[in-house]
Structure 1
Amino acid sequence: MYKKIGTVVLSVFLAVALAACGNSSNNAGNEATNKPAESDAATAPASNEKKTKIVYWTGDRHDMDYIKEVIQSFNDTNDSNIEVEMVVKTDDYNQAIDLAFASGQAPDLLRVKENTIQAYVTKGYLAPIDDLMTEKMKQEFPLIQDFNQIGGKVYSLPNYGSTLRLVYNKELFAKAGIASPPKSLAEMVDAAKKITEVGKADGAYGFALNFKSPDSAFGRSARVIAEVSGIGGFGYDFKTARFDFTGFKDIIQAYKQMYDDGSTLPGMEALDIDPLRAQFAEGKIGMYISFSSEPGVYKNQFPAKIEWAAAPVPSIDGTIKGVSSFVGGQWLAINSSSKNQEAAWKFMEYMYADEILKTYHEKGFGISMVPSISAVASKPDINGIEGFLPTENDGTWPLNPTVTVEGIKSNDAFFKYMLGEGNLDEIIKDLNTRYNAALDKAIASGEVKAEPKPDFDPMKLGAK
C-alpha cells in the first residue's frame, strides 16, 4: 500500500513549525532545559546491589552528547539498578549489527532505521513491543505500516524525522558569483566548478560527500535527487514492481563530472561524515547534501565559522516530479535474544518520555514525528533550521522490497564508476539483472511481496 504514509503527521509538523516562527513568547513556559526528564522514582540504587547492565548501539553521532546526558540521568536515577552503556559505531554500523548477531554478541537495544527495520525483523533480530506499551503510548505514538509496525506487530516507535536538503556555504556562493542554489544537476556541476575556481587557492572546493561509506553518501544525496525527479531512491520502480537503476544514470554522471573536474574536496573518497562537517564548518566545502540534523551539528558539535543555509536538492533537469523524502518513523528497538529485555524496555520507555523527545526536537537534532510533542514544542532556535522545515514538497515514500543481492551493491558499483572504473550503461544493466534476480528469489520464498502499482504518483506523497 503506497498511499501517503505519514502525511497527516507531516501536516502537523508544517502547522506547528509555521506557527512557532512568531510564537516565542507563548512558548516561554514550555522551553526545555538541557537536563533530561527525571524518572518518577529518582532514588539512586544502593551501591552494593548488583547492577543489571544493558548495552545500546547506535550509528547516530549528531545527537551523541545529548543522548549521553540522557543515559547518565537514567543511570543515576532509575530505581531498578539498571546501568546503560551506549556504544556509537562510527563505521559500517549495519554490517556491525549483522556480525554482532551472527556471533551472539548483539546489544540489548539498537538504533533502527527505515532501511533496516524490515530486514532485522525478517532475520529475527527484534522483539515486538506491543504487549509492553502502555495505553498512553499506544495513543500518543503514530504507527506507520512497514516503518515501525510490521506484520501486525510493533517493533519500534517514532521520535524524529529528517528532511534532506542541499547544504551550502553562502560566502563561497557569493564569491563565485552564484546568485542562488542549483535547481538542476547541470547547475550543480557548474556551481561546483565555479566555487573551486575561486576557492582552491584557499583550500576550498565546490562539492563533497562522505564517500568513506558509499551507501551513506549516495543514500543522503543521489537517493533524494532521484526522488524529487520522480524516481525511486533505491532503484525500485513502484509502477512496475521491478528494480530499474536507469534513472540514476544522469545523477551518477554528474557526480563523476564534478570528480573529473577537480571540483570535489581532495580525499573525499575516504571522508567520513563528521570530518566532512568539520571541513564545511571551516569554509572548505561549497555544498553537500544531508539531513536536517545539520543545524544542531553546526551549533553544538562543529560551530560554523561561515554563513551557511539549506535549500531544496536539485532535480535531474530542474523539474520537480516527486516529493523529497521525509525520513523516519522508528528509533529504538529491543534485541529478541537479549537476556535483559525487561531492563531494556524500562530504558526504552524512559527514552520515549515526553520531555526527552521535546528537548530533542527543540535542540534541533530532528523534527518530531510525534504529534503530541510537535504540538507543544518550540521551534528550534538554531541557525539554518528554516531551510529544513517540511513543506508540501516533502513526503514519505513507501518502502521498497529488501533483497539480498549477490555481488557488488549498487552504491559501491556507482562509486567505482565515479572514480573511473567501468562503463555506466553496462553497470546499470548488470545491477538491474542481479537485483531483479534477488527480488524474484525473495518473492518465491515468501520473504517479500511486490505488486505493480500502475497508478503510482510520487507527486501525491506530499502533505496537503
Structure 2
Amino acid sequence: MKKRKLSAILAVVTAVTMLWGCGKTDNANGGNTANTSASETTKTETTEKTTTEKKPVTIQYFTWTSGSMSVIEPMVEKFNQTNEDNITVEVVLKTGEWQTALKTAILSGQAPDVLHGVNDLTEALSNGWIEPWDNYLSDDFKAKIDPYTYKVEVGGDWNTYAFVWGAKTYKMAYNKDLFDAAGITELPTTWDEVYECAKKITEAGNGDYYGFGLSSAGTGSAVPYIVEPIGAYEGFYKMGYDFQKNAYDFTYMKPYIEMFRTMIAEGITFPGAETLDNDSLRAHFAAGRIGIIPSVSWDCAAINDQFEATCDWDVFDWPTAMSGENKGAMCLRDQANYMLSSSSKHKEAAAKFVEFMLSEDYQSELLSKATDMSVLPWALEAAKSKPESAYPQWVSYSPSEDMVQVSSINLGVQITGDSEATTMAYLISVPDMDIDSTLADLSTRYNTGLYDQAKIDEKKSDVSDAQIGFQGKIMSIENFDPTKPIQAENIKYLTADEWKALQN
C-alpha cells in the first residue's frame, strides 16, 4: 500500500495569509526602580495581586469523543493549571446515545457551557440553546480563525456558531498477521477482493478468528461508518441524498447489503453482528480476532490505547464502488464543533477555553497523538516540533487530495420510523427482510420527512424570533458535481413547495 505523508493534510487546508501586529512594552517606572525600598516593592506587589486576581470560575465541556480523551484530559488539566483567569474546566463525556443526554441536560437547565456539537442545529438555534461566539472571542483570534468558522445567518446577520478545525477519514483496518497467515500478499482495492480476503482469513482461522467484522446492533453500531463512505463513492452525500435529483434514494445500497448478508451466511464475519456495537467490534479487532473492519481515523488511538491492541495492524484505502468506478469523491467526516450554550453564565471564560482548544498547542497535540486530523495550518506547523505519533498507522489515515469536505451540508428530516442507519442494520442482519421494498420505503420516508421538516420549520420561522436563514428551506446545489467539494456560492435554498415541485 502506498504510504502518504501526513503533509497530505495540507491538501484540504485553505491557504490563509495572516498579518500579525507587533507591539512593545514600555517601562512604566521610567527605569527608576533602583531606589525603590523593599517595603514599597512588597506593598506594590500586594496591591497588583489583589487587583489582578480573578474570581474562580468553573465551566463544563461536553463531548462524546472517547477516542480523543487521551489528549483532552491532560490538555484540559494543563489549561486548568496555566490559565491566568482562574478558570477550571470540567469534561463531561457521554458516549452512545449522547444526543439524549445532552438534550436532557439542556431542557433541565443544566446545559454544559461548551458543547462539542448538537444533534439538530435548527432545533438548537430555534430554541435559543446556542449563541454566536463573536462577542466573546478576542479580536486577534477572530481574525485568525475566521477561514475555519461555521457561520449561520440568524436575524439577517451572519455569525460564528462553531469551528471546522478537523476531519476524520474512512479506511479499512486490517490485521497484518492474519493476512500473512492466510497467504495474502496484496491489499484489496475492491469489495470483491475484500470478500475473497475475508474468506481466506476465516478459513485459515478455523474458528479462532474471522475475516470481516460487522457491527449492526441497532444502537451504537458502526453501520454509519460503512454506509457513509459507500454512499460517497456512489455519488451521494449524507448516506443517501442525491443533489443532482434533489431527493433521497437509498436503492444504491442493495448490492452491498446482499454482499454483507452473504458474508454472514457463509460465516466469514465475526459471529453476532446483530448484537455487536462499534466498541465491541473494535475490541475484538484489537484482540486479533478479526481480519478486516471498517474504520474511521479516530480509531487509531482508540484501538491502540482504549482497546490495547495486541495485534500488528494497519489500514488500507476504502474499496471502490461496487461497479468498479467511483461516481463521487470520498467525504471527509468534518463537522462544525465547539458551540456556546446560551445559558452559560461564564461565556467569556468559555471563549478563553475554546481559544485554547483551537490553539497551536492543543490542536498539534491532537495531531501528534493521533486522535484527530487537525487541518488548522498553525497546528500542522506546531506539530513539526512535537514527537511523531507513537502509532505507525496514523500516517496511513491521512486525507488524500481527492477527499471533499461536507460540513456545509444541512438537510433536516422529520423521520417517521427507523433511521437510515437502523434500517440498514436490520437489512444486513435479518435475511428475511425484503431489500427492494425496504429501501424504497426508506427513500419515501426520508423524502417525506425532508418535506415535512421544512414545512414544520417554515411555520416555526414565521413566529420565531430567531429568523434562521435556512429554516423552513431545503438545500439545493447548482451545478452539483459529486467528485468535487461544494462551493458556497452554489448553495441555494428552496421552499418546501419549490422542492416538492421538482419531484414531479
- TM-score tier, shorter chain, comes to 0.7 to 0.9
2:351 maps to which of 345, 348, 361: 345
Instruction: State whether residues 140 and 372 of structure 1, in contact with CA within 8 Å, keep that contact through their aligned partners in structure 2.
Output: no
CA distance in 1, matches of 2:361, 2:196: 46
TM-score normalized by structure 1?
0.82
Partner of 1:384: 393
Partner of 2:421: 411
CA distance in 2, matches of 1:264, 1:289: 12
2:249 maps to which of 220, 234, 244: 244
2:288 maps to which of 283, 287, 292: 283
Code of the residue aligned with 1:322 in structure 2: it is: G
Shift of 1:166: 0.9
Q: More displaced, 353-362 or 76-85?
A: 76-85
Shift of 1:340: 2.9
CA distance in 2, matches of 1:284, 1:119: 42
Instruction: State whether residues 236 and 243 of structure 2, in contact with CA within 8 Å, keep that contact through their aligned partners in structure 1.
Output: no
Code of the residue aligned with 2:393 in structure 1: it is: G
1:395 maps to which of 376, 382, 404: 404
Q: 1:283-313 CA distances to partner (integer Å, 9 max, x unpaired)?
A: 1111111211233334443443222221111
Q: More displaced, 134-143 or 280-289?
A: 134-143
Q: Residue 134 in 1 paired to residue 158 in 2?
A: no
SS at match of 2:223: helix
SS at match of 2:450: helix
Q: Which has the higher contact order (CA 8 A, sep 6+)?
A: 1
CA distance in 2, matches of 1:117, 1:371: 27
Instruction: State whether residues 358 and 377 of structure 1, in contact with CA within 8 Å, keep that contact through their aligned partners in structure 2.
Output: yes
Aligned length in residues = 422
Partner of 2:497: none
Indicate how the Cα distance of structure 1 residues 231 and 184 shifts in structure 2: closer, same or farther if over 3 A, else same.
farther
2:91 maps to which of 59, 62, 86: 86
Indicate how the Cα distance of structure 1 residues 278 and 451 shifts in structure 2: closer, same or farther if over 3 A, else same.
closer
CA distance in 1, matches of 2:9, 2:398: 14
1:197 maps to which of 203, 207, 210: 203
Q: Residue 226 in 1 paired to residue 226 in 2?
A: no
Indicate how the Cα distance of structure 1 residues 331 and 219 shifts in structure 2: closer, same or farther if over 3 A, else same.
same
TM-score normalized by structure 2?
0.76
CA distance in 1, matches of 2:56, 2:301: 34
Partner of 2:467: none
Alignment of 1:49-198 (within 5 A): 51-112=56-117, 116-117=120-121, 120-143=124-147, 148-151=150-153, 152-198=158-204
Q: 1:289-342 CA distances to partner (integer Å, 9 max, x unpaired)?
A: 121123333444344322222111112233222211112243321212223323
Partner of 1:430: 441
Indicate how the Cα distance of structure 1 residues 256 and 149 shifts in structure 2: closer, same or farther if over 3 A, else same.
farther
SS at match of 1:156: strand
Shift of 1:57: 1.6
Partner of 1:270: 275
CA distance in 2, matches of 1:417, 1:326: 26
Code of the residue aligned with 2:438 in structure 1: it is: I
CA distance in 2, matches of 1:405, 1:431: 10
Instruction: State whether residues 231 and 247 of structure 1, in contact with CA within 8 Å, keep that contact through their aligned partners in structure 2.
Output: no
Indicate how the Cα distance of structure 1 residues 198 and 11 shifts in structure 2: closer, same or farther if over 3 A, else same.
same
Instruction: State whether residues 62 and 114 of structure 2, in contact with CA within 8 Å, keep that contact through their aligned partners in structure 1.
Output: yes
SS at match of 2:474: coil
Shift of 1:442: 2.7
CA distance in 1, matches of 2:179, 2:372: 27
Instruction: State whether residues 402 and 448 of structure 1, in contact with CA within 8 Å, keep that contact through their aligned partners in structure 2.
Output: no
SS at match of 1:318: coil
CA distance in 2, matches of 1:319, 1:387: 23
CA distance in 2, matches of 1:176, 1:226: 30
Identity of aligned residues (%): 31
Q: Residue 235 in 1 paired to residue 235 in 2?
A: no
Q: More displaced, 58-67 or 103-112?
A: 103-112
Instruction: Please say which structure displays the higher CA radius of gyration.
Output: 2
Q: More displaced, 150-159 or 53-62?
A: 150-159
Instruction: State whether residues 61 and 88 of structure 1, in contact with CA within 8 Å, keep that contact through their aligned partners in structure 2.
Output: yes
2:374 maps to which of 368, 393, 398: 368
Indicate how the Cα distance of structure 1 residues 316 and 102 shifts in structure 2: closer, same or farther if over 3 A, else same.
farther
Code of the residue aligned with 1:383 in structure 2: it is: P
Indicate how the Cα distance of structure 1 residues 9 and 286 shifts in structure 2: closer, same or farther if over 3 A, else same.
closer
Q: Which runs of 5+ in 2 are unaligned?
A: 1-7, 16-48, 459-470, 488-504
Shift of 1:92: 1.0
Shift of 1:117: 4.5
